Amino acid sequence: MDHFTYRDGALHAEDVPLADIAAAVGTPVYVYSRATLARHYRVFADAFAGLDATICYAVKANSNLAVIRTLGLLGAGADVVSGGELQRALAAGIPAERVVFSGVGKTRDELAQALAAGVMEINVESDPELEVLSQVAAAMGVEARVAVRINPDVDARTHAKITTGRSENKFGIEWTRTREVYARIAELPGLRAEGVAVHIGSQLTDMEPYRDAYTRMRDLVAMLRADGHDIRRLDLGGGLGIPYVDAGNTAQTTPGPADYAAVVREVLGDLDCRLVLEPGRVIAGNAGVLLTRVIYVKEGATRTFVIVDAAMNDLMRPSLYDAYHKISPVREPLPGEGLIEADVVGPICESGDSFGKARPLPACQPDDLLVLRSAGAYGAVMASAYNARPLVPEVLVDGDRFAVVRERVTIQDMMDRESMPDWLDAAAPAEGKVA
């Protein structure tokens, strides 16, 4: 469920007509619903009621400060994968003791930053990182609370670019080496092993891979405890999928937080461990849309192209993953109004700059508004300035009010960050010019 609905023939974000946001802020623009963020967080939290569980929102899904703050006020912690995300989480008010630092390539500076902040846990992903963390912690005179991210060699059965738990993926340490790695932790100064971590991928719509990974995790915990390691925390990762099309489409039905929690309770519920959960997409995905305006409607030889002012640099998922986002008109189609099939594309000079092919839409005209739904996760955070297109603004809606929570970058803003070396003085003769 989300809070983007038609009222009086116009698509609203909560109580605000999206056309009003377009008029005030311009397009393209990301629009987030505070009510949807809050509802999704509460549904997830309620599913784990009765368990000792800390919900650490995966900041990589949507790192806007207002989004993080919204969830932090509800009790969420943060899962971060860079020093920048750590700074954002702390700036948004997330206490360091509710922050987990994950990621396969943490630098010395980032590890020191996390230790200085006093994060709850650092998830180590390789032997070299373990050695470096020990050196950094010992030099700082602190003890790092560590969990090792285990690669369980479980296929998440999702897209190849977002699966992370198979042996050929770059993430984590092979599960067969678990005892060896924890024995090494016990030898190194500045480290204390407190947990075990796993994360097998993103956009999971099948519970069996979770069951397989967590069963392996359960066996490893028993083995580590038998070896004398006091394992009291399990980081279960995230990755629960969302429906990217109409909820009534049975082909796209996805398990919800309650289904996921049932697997966790069944497999791990009696281990007397604090659980760390890292939802991202399932919280933020359906809480946002990308609002865009039609520039042209072009009749091609075999198809109709609706060219909009958003592009692949604003929302990479369709071009990167062949991801599906439902596309809706802001003006509600009239009863019995005929639909056309159109390719919705952006203005970038790439054939991959396409949001959807043969989509059913009412006949579009220039200046009509469309939304790409389920764009609250892995949308603005993955955007770029390709084709010298500035990053678009982000708006947060709360009831009948809205605020710009990231301003639109201008071309001048982008150029102000660049400089011309003095040896490229425009007055100098052109290199190779014939006198």
Whether 349 is catalytic is: yes
- pLDDT at position 247 is 40
Question: Which tens digit of pLDDT belongs to each residue from 9-67?
Answer: 999 999 999 999 999 999 999 999 999 999 999 999 999 999 999 999 999 999 999 99
Q: Name the CATH code of domain 4-12+286-416 (choices 3.40.50.2000, 2.40.37.10, 2.40.50.140, 3.40.50.150).
A: 2.40.37.10
The β-bridge relationship of strands 173-174 and 233-235 is unpaired
Extended beta strands in 52-92, E state: 53-58, 77-80
Give me the residues paired with residue 147 across strands. 123, 195
Q: What is the share, in percent, of the chain residues with pLDDT greater than 90?
A: 79
pTM: 0.91
- pLDDT at position 201 is 77
Specify whether the CB–CB gap between 124 and 148 falls below 8 A.
yes
| C-alpha gyration radius of the chain | 24
> Residue 182 has which token pair?
């924890």
Residue 327: strand, helix, or coil? strand
Question: Which tens digit of pLDDT belongs to each residue from 332-346?
Answer: 999 888 999 999 999
- 221: pLDDT strictly greater than 70: yes
Question: Which tens digit of pLDDT belongs to each residue from 316-328?
Answer: 999 998 899 999 9
CA distance 274 to 122: 15
Question: Which tens digit of pLDDT belongs to each residue from 231-282?
Answer: 999 999 988 888 776 544 444 567 899 999 999 999 999 999 999 999 999 9
- 355: pLDDT strictly greater than 80: yes
Domain boundaries, the chain: 4-12+286-416, 103-277
Catalytic residue among 56, 273, 349, 364: 349
Domain 103-277 has CATH 3.30.300.30: no
